[in-house]
Structure 1
Amino acid sequence: MEDLIAVLTGGSVQFLAALVFLYVLLKIFNRVRYTGRKRPPGPPSLPLIGHFHHLLFGMPHHSLAKIAEKYGSIVWVELGAVNAVVVTSSDMAREVLKTQDHIFASRPSGIVVEKVFKKAQGLVWSPFNDHFRLARKIILTELFSEKRIDSFKDLRRQMTFRTLRTAFEEGHAKHYINLADLMHNQFISLTTRMLFQLDRHAQNKDLLEIVDDFTSAGWFVIEEFFPLLKPLDLSGQVRRLKNIGERYFELLDSIIDNRLKENSNSKSNTEEDFLDVLLATSKFSRVQVQLLLLDIIIVGTDTSSDTIVWAITELLRHPNIMERLQSELDDAIGKERLVEEADLNNLEYLQAVVKETLRLHPVAALGVPHYSTEATKVAGYDIPANTRVMLNLYAIGRDPKVWENPLKFDPSRFLNSSIDVKGQHYEVLPFGSGRRKCPGMNLALVSVPYNLAQLVHACTISLPKGLTHLDVDVEEKFGMTVVRRNPLNLLLKRRLPSEVYRRAGLQFSDV
């Protein structure tokens, strides 16, 4: 958002004025086209920019939630040259993601898609077509099936233990560690090992930098909403996204070239990784293989790691909840061994903490935008074809008509509750629903509670000296995902007897 403000306030006034006439003509044309149709309500729009000014200050998901409070749960917004509908209630979400999912299951194009995703040849940004169906089928069967997820259990344990070892060694030296950095490093390593058995520090570091650059760029690229500005690239985002794409494809080219040089006959089926599967599928080009991997890397790295950071944030802000979760872990696991994934289904309060974190802090606050492939009606309103549809998952999860004390972090609301987070209950939709539901949901619902349980059960977590739970903030930064604006620096030390870690295979340099 800061980049947007700088562009709009620091750009050439004369040049922008010269564009007003063209945009006014465009707006008049659009209004003539929609005469006689009943569009969803929305606030008054301004010449040239429409409602874009609502996104300039503060967080976009906050601003759109405030608009919905006044105009209703389905709102029409004009963002420069882009027409969009914003949905902020579970009923409207059900209409879009279930009743009319066949109409809204596509994705809009744009600068991000063009510069990084090569005109939507991956999965996340692909239109709803045969390529999407094939790609999703292969990803679900070859990477995210129950059998495949279970096969990575030892790898997940290994990656988590490596994280704990790093944290404890830093803690022993009384060094505070940035939890987000710690989690991001773990999940980029886990994801790349799952995809193509990559465990080279340099390449993982390069990938993590690419992912961080991409996610910090955000969906709101000003030139996408004001396409006449695209050739000028006043924000620098067009050039930045192009550079990110070039860096990624250069790195993946080297990985794929090395793989193709290997003697494939020496590999048995059990040794094949997901890259092997994709390369063996003649229906995918090299670019499509690279983009499918990129989709999984981006989703697998940030969403789970950022959710864990938000969960620890809330636990630190609420010592009573942290204590209750630790008590459950101590009672169910004891202090003579570490948590295993097999324990997760028996940890009811842990699961409630995860669900409450996903409700209150959905890292994909506005989801990935949907796109109407034909004209339709929603709640009696006309939605033209080629309209962008955004689901404000942040607002849906905080709807006071659904949730009692919606701003309060209260995991007990999910105890003895039928509401789940898997896309069947539209009151909370961290993974979306319908044809576009996140294919990695089942993996996330193992990885997040497992790592959270290890941090709470195996670690003593301390804030920097002089700070208390009252000093832990929840200020946000909006990008591809919504993350903490300020680093969460913590001192992590061993909570259990040293012998417990040794028996589990965790060795420390200070022991």
Structure 2
Amino acid sequence: MSKTSMEGLIAEFKSWSMHSVAALVFLYILLKDFKRIRHKSGRRPPGPPSLPLIGHFHHLLFGLPHHSLSKIADKYGPIVWLDLGSVSVVVVSSSDMAREILKTQDHIFASRPAVLLGDMLFAKGEDLLFSPLNDNFRLMRRVVSTQLFSQQRIDSFQDLRRESAFKMMQTAFEEGHANRHISLSDLMHEQFMSMTTRMLYGMDGHAQTQQLLEIVRDLTHTGWFVIEEYFPLLKPFDPSGEVKRLKKLGQKYFDLMDSIIDQRLKEISNSKSNREENFLDVLLAMSNFTRLQVKGLLLDNIFGGSDTSPDTIVWAITELLRHPNTMERLQNELDDVIGKERLVEEADLNKLEYLQAVVKETLRLHPVGVLGTPHFSTEATKVAGYDIPASTRVMVNFYAIARDPKVWENPLKFDPSRFLISPVDVKGQHYGVLPFSSGRRKCPGMNLALVSVAYNIALLVHACSISLPEGLTSLDVDVEEKFGLTVSKRNPLTLLIKRRLPSVVYAEA
């Protein structure tokens, strides 16, 4: 490198450094003034001591955030105040506090803050997941509830779910027959992505499925604590690289979805009237939806349908392998109720009491959406005697709530039988376990997720012989977590999967 080039590089670096320092100093002054003005009166919730400039952000830099927030709650109580850079966040970690936020004052806390993720990928917050509490949100929720997740629509996809599950087993059996182990996570994610895209827009292109899998995988790795979001003056410098990465990821998704929409519009213009209408057709027929909103709403459902359910199934099989007696009890129930002369069907699920308990216990111990999606107060209010200003971000730690020893006996133990003697459900009415949240922001795909998860667990346990790699036992199966938008199993669950029932059963099915 020439002397001139080196001097130019050094000058550029110095210029960048000076701008960075100036931005940080300005941000520090701004934060001090912001906090002084905002909190000069009122009684805010307790919290740990904060550091200059970054506030409490250092608590989230090491370890898993939902674990760190649980430890803070253990020390400071079920409602805490955190200053994360320029953003004030209230975190609640008990069933009583969750009830207050998601039910009693749901009308105040059901909005959403503006976040980088929503701006870059989810239609600038005009989708359903990230939309503020406004007319757009109400329209989106009504369309999704009636056109995609009505009970009639869910029932109409039953054959598709069956076909997708059988295809998944066929792939597993082919690998098992050759004595090759397979990643259960990869197997389930591919199945659910294929099924979700067919539900949404009737296509199952392998290349498109793989592209969407990559996009969703990259999306879930993002998490809720992108530094540029909490220190907005750093956004132009993008020190974490997340701004650039999210822009690139958003463009990748938009280009792919534009090609799918263009193809669908071409098919519609060719008047293929005998083709069954799907969710994309419904959205395109609505004149009050922009193309950007259509893409955002599709991504909501692609993300929700192809990520959370597969991860829940992986967690369930993980716990069943860690607890052979529980696996045996579930297998015995399936053999007693279904027999070994046919495969389990969705119509059988309500008769499988212990299976339902296994699903509930998995959702309690391993809620994949551990922190949900951030809420946002639309007006000033009080919670548990504390003053919560308007425009405060609120997070509900579902992970901590579901492991609260004040609510659950032996909360860290995987014990499905606890749900056999309890009226507690997982559908948002009991605030000690909220895998789908509750209130206006409850997951609209809850009923579809519950039937899909239960059906796939039943098939895997009843129709498949599942074994660990040679030399490993149940004691070797770990439950280490990987944090992102959802929490999945960090280490792959690699299994050998073979047929468990007589060959004629699969042939007839």
Same-fold call, TM > 0.5?
yes
3-state DSSP of counterpart to 2:51 = coil
3-state DSSP of counterpart to 1:139 = helix
Could you tell me how far apart the structure 2 residues matched to 1:223 and 1:263 are?
42
Report the AA paired with residue 435 of structure 2. P
3-state DSSP of counterpart to 1:298 = helix
The two structures have a TM-score, normalised by structure 2, of 0.95
Establish whether residue 201 from structure 1 lines up as the match of residue 206 from structure 2: yes
Structure-2 change in CA distance of 1:264 and 1:175 (3 Å): same
Alignment match, 1:258: 263
* Distance apart, 1:207 and its partner CA: 1.0
Structure-2 change in CA distance of 1:169 and 1:23 (3 Å): same
Establish whether residue 241 from structure 1 lines up as the match of residue 246 from structure 2: yes
Deviates more, 1:42-51 or 1:255-264: 255-264
Structure 2 counterparts to residues 134-173 of structure 1, below 5 A? 134-173=139-178
Alignment match, 1:21: 25
Alignment match, 2:314: 309
Report the AA paired with residue 243 of structure 1. K
Could you tell me how far apart the structure 1 residues matched to 2:29 and 2:259 are?
48
Structure-2 change in CA distance of 1:382 and 1:169 (3 Å): same
Structure 2 counterparts to residues 94-113 of structure 1, below 5 A? 94-113=99-118
1:37-77 deviations in Å (ceiling 9; x for gaps) = 10000000000111111101110000000000010000000
* Distance apart, 1:265 and its partner CA: 7.2
Establish whether residue 58 from structure 1 lines up as the match of residue 63 from structure 2: yes
* Distance apart, 1:262 and its partner CA: 1.2
* Distance apart, 1:27 and its partner CA: 2.9
Establish whether residue 393 from structure 1 lines up as the match of residue 398 from structure 2: yes
Establish whether residue 489 from structure 1 lines up as the match of residue 481 from structure 2: no
Could you tell me how far apart the structure 2 residues matched to 1:54 and 1:427 are?
25
Structure 2 counterparts to residues 54-93 of structure 1, below 5 A? 54-93=59-98
- Contact conserved, 2:193 with 2:213, CA < 8 A, in 1? yes
Could you tell me how far apart the structure 2 residues matched to 1:175 and 1:59 are?
33
Could you tell me how far apart the structure 2 residues matched to 1:19 and 1:253 are?
38
Report the AA paired with residue 499 of structure 2. R
1:269-315 deviations in Å (ceiling 9; x for gaps) = 87100111111111101111111101000000111000000000000
Structure 1 gap segments, 5+ residues each: 1-11, 505-511
Could you tell me how far apart the structure 2 residues matched to 1:305 and 1:385 are?
37
Could you tell me how far apart the structure 2 residues matched to 1:275 and 1:36 are?
50
Alignment match, 1:321: 326
Establish whether residue 184 from structure 1 lines up as the match of residue 189 from structure 2: yes
Report the AA paired with residue 22 of structure 1. F
Structure-2 change in CA distance of 1:420 and 1:267 (3 Å): farther
- Contact conserved, 2:23 with 2:234, CA < 8 A, in 1? no
Could you tell me how far apart the structure 2 residues matched to 1:495 and 1:220 are?
44
Deviates more, 1:261-270 or 1:233-242: 261-270
* Distance apart, 1:36 and its partner CA: 2.1
Identity %, equivalent residues: 71
* Distance apart, 1:266 and its partner CA: 4.3
Could you tell me how far apart the structure 2 residues matched to 1:67 and 1:387 are?
19
3-state DSSP of counterpart to 1:271 = coil
The two structures have a TM-score, normalised by structure 1, of 0.95
Report the AA paired with residue 201 of structure 1. H
Report the AA paired with residue 25 of structure 1. I
* Distance apart, 1:121 and its partner CA: 1.3
Structure 2 counterparts to residues 439-450 of structure 1, below 5 A? 439-450=444-455
RMSD after superposition: 1.3
Report the AA paired with residue 492 of structure 2. P
Could you tell me how far apart the structure 2 residues matched to 1:15 and 1:416 are?
62
Alignment match, 1:277: 282
3-state DSSP of counterpart to 1:77 = strand
Alignment match, 1:507: none
Deviates more, 1:15-24 or 1:322-331: 15-24
Establish whether residue 118 from structure 1 lines up as the match of residue 123 from structure 2: yes
Aligned match for 2:35, one of 31, 38, 43: 31
